[in-house]
Structure 1
Amino acid sequence: MNRLPPWCLGLATLLVLTVACLWNYDPPVAGTQRWGIVFPSPLPVGTSEPILVTGQTGAGDFLVVRYVSESSIVFAYDSWGHGGPSSSPIVVPPGAHHRLAIDLPSLSAVPGKIEAEAQLVRVVFDGTVVLDAKVAFHSSRIPRVSFGRNPLGGTSCGPEFHGQLLRENGRSLLSNPHAVDTPAERFFTWLQLDPWQFVVIALTSLAVAWTWRARCRGTRPAAAALVSALTATARSHRAFLFATLLCSAAFTSVLTSGTFRVIYPETFCNFYDFQALSLLQGRLDVPEESLQEEAFVYAGKIYGYFGVTPALIRIPFVIFGLAFGELSRAAMLLYYAATLLAAYLILLDATRLLRPDRPRPATWQTMLFTAHVGLGSTVFFLGSRAYIYHEAILCGIMFAVFSCWCALRHLAAPQGRWWLGALALGTLSVHARPPTGLFALTVLGCVAAAHLFRFSPSSRLSSSPSPFRPLAIGALSVFGVLSFNALSYVKFRTFEGCPLRLNVQYTPERLAKIDGQQFHAANLPYGLSSYLLHPNVEITRHFPWLYIGPAVQRQSFPQAKIDFPDRALALPYGMTGLFVLASIAAAWAAVKSPAARLPVLTLWAAAVPVSVAMFAAIATSERYTGDFCPFLFCAAAFGLAAPRWRPLTTAALAAATLWACLLTLAITVHYQGTMVWGVPEDVQKNYRQLRAHVDGFFLGSVPPSR
């Protein structure tokens, strides 16, 4: 086996993967279908039989034939849940051969086309148009087409057609597209319509060949050493792994409403799948069904204001047609666990920097920090609902924290290339959630400024010996932020990141109330109160006992131009431990430890632009507090690493962490059970029953509706 040439193994991999892709490959059946048809003899009067069926159960379209008499038929179209038109009766002699041409709108709504070109069903029978009407239809994202069979169980027809369906060349049509094309036709259709699958397969085959070549050259001990090193690393960081496992289990339970099904078609969660499909086709517009009321319409096309980063991550799945529209839960779980890892990496580096005598955080610090980040912050609240709003924020947080980790490493070692990771990850964060990316790239820009101007022993500013590199890094950081506006220009022909006038929800009257703008200086006091000052926590006698109170009243800020004042917990009350660590403890560290001074000041300075943007925005919401999480996680790590914690301060921090975790859990389950739209009715019903049972046990009463 070791003598097998690498190219042979690579070629074998290519062939096996190609056959695997083609094994169940259904070529899209698009365009006009021209067949020969022979009806059964005698005609089964009073029954209906399928001619062409597309889609899936609950979202299918049917073209059927109804036998109305011994010598006449009717063609009928039925879209699941919508119905459809029928033709006039047509006289047909049983057993005769007829010509049939069919156009269905669902046949043009297959991969390779973002949206259908027409909404007309058209049936031509023996050269005569017998049915021509505008109809409802279901997009066939996965090409499921059946000829003469009804595999969906629709009630508009029986299970199968008892006559004959023939191709123009006389070959019989069976129940699926495999019978339509020869193996060679299927292969070349696959290459033409799914070239990205072949590209991925070819790259995978090259990787297998290269790996085998390296193994044959005797690098296996290095692989064994890598496994040994990973095992040792897992042992040394077992406290973090244990805390992450518990946090991830709790997050998954909430995210999936206790089912632990991470592959699931949530409502309003297929936008990124459609965006990935459009990117593969070299375009940015998406079909209307992917955005609903969040659609932005420009030049007759529909776009989203959401960034493309989550769509980029979905591209491999879209290429191979895996779990289309069902990945939001899995993606959010991945982002969540990765966020915990990124925050822990910053804590490790902060501890090594500030406490070289003890370069690893204590077990209690690791457990407490991970628990607060994972259970007592907005990242856990985002698990209340898996849809694109929450996924975008969580994705942005994850990339931003990793970017900050790289930037802080570059701050400590400017000769290295950590800035490349910070720039790439920060840009990805911008294109997931602009505020989080703004913070991450501002951190990198501040690091570049710190390297450009360093304090000399005489306390005067002196230029760095090589100013070009920090200048270039700073400029690239600015370009990374502006890349979101550049992409907006490609879509909307304006550099506004979110041109509200193009959104289908914004009427002229609504735009006039906010002057058509997303940010106003007059909103700064309102935003400051919402996110920092307003004690918006309600404690009641009814389960879950802790609630978010009403939003800050606009009457208190008459000059503010707020479009969407939703409930939000001020940071000192919602993420108490992290806020104290990022402010008071970090300030103490900066004063007492010179090594902490520059990183802490860098993080604080980088927090200013994103804070101003959030305070000036026209909307407030609890989920938007997630935009402050990258700053809180990074600064809190330095606050936790620097001080010499005494029993009293440790107990106070533990109490603050416990409070934040309990509060976050309470508002998360209540938000999921009663407030957010799109949650299955059974989940909300179970929550109402739980509240009634708990309140009945403790109070003997039914909880009021909130």
Structure 2
Amino acid sequence: MSFRSIPIRRLRPLLLAVVAVMACYALALVPREVHPLDLTFNSMLDHLLRGRFDVDPAIVGREGFTVGGQVMAYWGILPALLRLPFTLFPGWRTLDFTIGSCLVALVGMAATKLWTLRLIRTELPGLPAWLDRAMIVVLLFSGAEVCFLRLSLYQEVCFWAALWGALFVAAAIHAQLRGLGRGALLVLALAAGLAMLTRVSLGIGLVAAFGGVLLVESLRHRTDLRGWLATAAAPLLLLLLLGGVTALVNLGRWGDPLTFADYHHYNYNAWYPDRLVRMAEQGLFNLHRIPFGLVYYFAPVWVLRGADGQLLLDATRQKWIDAAELPPSSFLLTDPLLLVLGGLAVAGWVRQSSAHRARSVAIALGLAIPAGLMLCAVSMNFRYRLDFYPLFEFLAFSGLILAARGGPAPGPRWTAMLAIVSVLASLLVGAAYLVGRLGPGQLLIGDGVGAYYLQAFGLR
């Protein structure tokens, strides 16, 4: 088929995407006050083009890592590489592309998730209409698309990683519905590799999920292992290539291809010396933090005060956690429909076997790794919630597939209620994130969390 023979309606989504991307990046040309930190990826790209792995210490500031007289950033290099086209602009080093980049990633996330939902609807006409409509609302107006609109360099990294997670989930759902071919494997490998170059916690999960797929499929095709390996060879080589680039960057920064950040050199340690002690005693990740992590992400009572006037779980937080960031939020409120559908998917896998159950379980286990890491991390920041969404959405989409095939599903009223709760809670939490301050939350709510937000919203 020649380009001229392609119907205009098929090109319309691509044209809309191009316009959306151009509009988002055009925001970089709007005059506004620029925070030096938001120019970090400009500096990173400038140095990478000269064969260096450091960044300008005056730009990255406290967020840098001083190693051998040079200052490094720990963020992956992909957001910097995405700025390559803009090196054609005069003075590009001082242009802030952060907001535009965040919006492009957000648009990409929404489009990818809606494409996945449309694929399910196309392949399985039995999908209940109320579930379809509710999922559109939830995917666009709650959760990952709404809660994190405090656009900054911190969010930019997480948004692009979340986009690669959404792309991985889309390929995994495509494989559930249409079979696992070389194309789906290539997308899985590409998403995993790009995530490793963006945010390592999510990258590890996608790589593990991809590895689980390879293992399960190798066992399934053991009678024709040579043919299967021929199918998987190119995707595996692609992932190894991107992994090699990641290892090269790590080597240039830290002198070790397997080190992604060495917090012994973190500049912020000078302001928070207790963090060095906590890291030496307990490490960056520790299973003992999981109970507090579950509270932080699902039941944030840590912001309330007990009868003694102290914050609940204050002793636990001081012992194990560097920072627990505001606003208080719970996935049970911002994403209940995703969680219910995901629970139905897991229950369905337990009750009945299917040809692709083992692969789905392997993917879910891999996607659970980033969530597990965040539950036991030394810092619990609000934006880290984005690492949970690939798991939640993969399980939710899998639950939709089971529902479309006659499996259990919440009724229209329950579905509508869950969607409404999700949207309202996400809007409230997102607004609180916008007006609040970053950093250790316990330092901000001395007069109580209610008083803090009344003042932040200008109501006091």
Same fold (TM over 0.5): yes
Q: Which residue of 1 aligns with 2:164?
A: 399
1:300 aligns with 2:66: no
Q: Give the Cα separation in 1 of the matches to 2:136 and 2:69.
A: 47
Q: Which residue of 2 aligns with 1:487?
A: 249
CA apart distance, 1:522:
2.4
Show the 5 A alignment for 1:301-320. Answer: 301-320=70-89
Q: Which residue of 1 aligns with 2:357?
A: 597
Normalised by the length of structure 1, the TM-score is 0.53
Aligned to 1:369, the other structure's residue is in SS state helix
Stretches of structure 2 that go unaligned for 5 or more consecutive residues are: 305-309, 440-452
Show the 5 A alignment for 1:54-133. Answer: none
Q: 1:449 aligns with which of 215, 226, 244?
A: 215
Q: Which residue of 1 aligns with 2:195?
A: 429
Q: Which residue of 2 aligns with 1:226?
A: 6
Instruction: Tell me, yes or no, if the aligned pair for 1:577 and 1:660 is still in contact at 8 Å.
Output: yes
Show the 5 A alignment for 1:600-615. Answer: 600-615=360-375
Aligned to 1:326, the other structure's residue is in SS state coil
Show the 5 A alignment for 1:146-165. Answer: none
Instruction: Tell me, yes or no, if the aligned pair for 2:131 and 2:415 is still in contact at 8 Å.
Output: no
Determine which structure has the larger helix proportion and give its number: 2
1:382 aligns with 2:158: no
CA apart distance, 1:311:
0.8
Instruction: Tell me, yes or no, if the aligned pair for 1:437 and 1:481 is still in contact at 8 Å.
Output: no
Q: 1:662 aligns with which of 424, 428, 433?
A: 424
Equivalent AA in structure 2 for residue 607 of structure 1: L
Q: Which residue of 2 aligns with 1:529?
A: 295
1:326 aligns with 2:96: yes
Stretches of structure 1 that go unaligned for 5 or more consecutive residues are: 1-218, 235-240, 456-461, 539-549, 678-686, 693-702
Work out the number of aligned pairs and report it. 424
Q: Give the Cα separation in 2 of the matches to 1:634 and 1:379.
A: 16
Q: Give the Cα separation in 2 of the matches to 1:369 and 1:261.
A: 35
Instruction: Tell me, yes or no, if the aligned pair for 1:587 and 1:639 is still in contact at 8 Å.
Output: no
CA apart distance, 1:395:
0.7
Q: Give the Cα separation in 1 of the matches to 2:342 and 2:28.
A: 34
Q: Which residue of 1 aligns with 2:347?
A: 587
CA apart distance, 1:300:
1.4
Q: Give the Cα separation in 2 of the matches to 1:391 and 1:301.
A: 24
1:502 aligns with 2:265: yes
Q: Which residue of 2 aligns with 1:629?
A: 389
Aligned to 1:307, the other structure's residue is in SS state coil
Aligned to 1:297, the other structure's residue is in SS state strand
Q: Identify if the C-alpha distance between structure 1 residues 308 and 647 changes in structure 2 by more than 3 Å, giving closer, same or farther.
A: closer
Aligned to 1:514, the other structure's residue is in SS state helix
CA apart distance, 1:364:
4.5
Q: Which residue of 1 aligns with 2:448?
A: none
Instruction: Tell me, yes or no, if the aligned pair for 1:514 and 1:561 is still in contact at 8 Å.
Output: no
Instruction: Tell me, yes or no, if the aligned pair for 1:264 and 1:327 is still in contact at 8 Å.
Output: no
Q: Which residue of 2 aligns with 1:283?
A: 52
1:673 aligns with 2:435: yes
CA apart distance, 1:625:
0.6
1:649 aligns with 2:411: yes
Equivalent AA in structure 1 for residue 97 of structure 2: L
Q: What are the Cα deviations for residues 362-383 of structure 1, in whole angstroms up to 9, with x where unaligned? A: 6654442233123211342221
CA apart distance, 1:325:
3.1
Q: Identify if the C-alpha distance between structure 1 residues 260 and 688 changes in structure 2 by more than 3 Å, giving closer, same or farther.
A: farther
Q: What are the Cα deviations for residues 523-553 of structure 1, in whole angstroms up to 9, with x where unaligned? A: 2332233234556799xxxxxxxxxxx9872
Q: What are the Cα deviations for residues 80-128 of structure 1, in whole angstroms up to 9, with x where unaligned? A: xxxxxxxxxxxxxxxxxxxxxxxxxxxxxxxxxxxxxxxxxxxxxxxxx
Q: Identify if the C-alpha distance between structure 1 residues 585 and 653 changes in structure 2 by more than 3 Å, giving closer, same or farther.
A: farther
Equivalent AA in structure 2 for residue 570 of structure 1: S
Q: Give the Cα separation in 2 of the matches to 1:551 and 1:666.
A: 23
Instruction: Tell me, yes or no, if the aligned pair for 1:407 and 1:447 is still in contact at 8 Å.
Output: no
Instruction: Tell me, yes or no, if the aligned pair for 1:441 and 1:480 is still in contact at 8 Å.
Output: no
CA apart distance, 1:521:
2.8
Normalised by the length of structure 2, the TM-score is 0.79
Aligned to 2:225, the other structure's residue is in SS state coil
CA apart distance, 1:492:
1.6
Sequence identity (%): 17
Question: Which structure is larger by alpha-carbon Rg, 1 or 2?
Answer: 1
Q: What are the Cα deviations for residues 130-160 of structure 1, in whole angstroms up to 9, with x where unaligned? A: xxxxxxxxxxxxxxxxxxxxxxxxxxxxxxx
CA apart distance, 1:435:
2.0
Instruction: Tell me, yes or no, if the aligned pair for 2:303 and 2:312 is still in contact at 8 Å.
Output: no
Q: 1:555 aligns with which of 311, 315, 326?
A: 315
Aligned to 2:386, the other structure's residue is in SS state helix
Q: What are the Cα deviations for residues 9-49 of structure 1, in whole angstroms up to 9, with x where unaligned? A: xxxxxxxxxxxxxxxxxxxxxxxxxxxxxxxxxxxxxxxxx
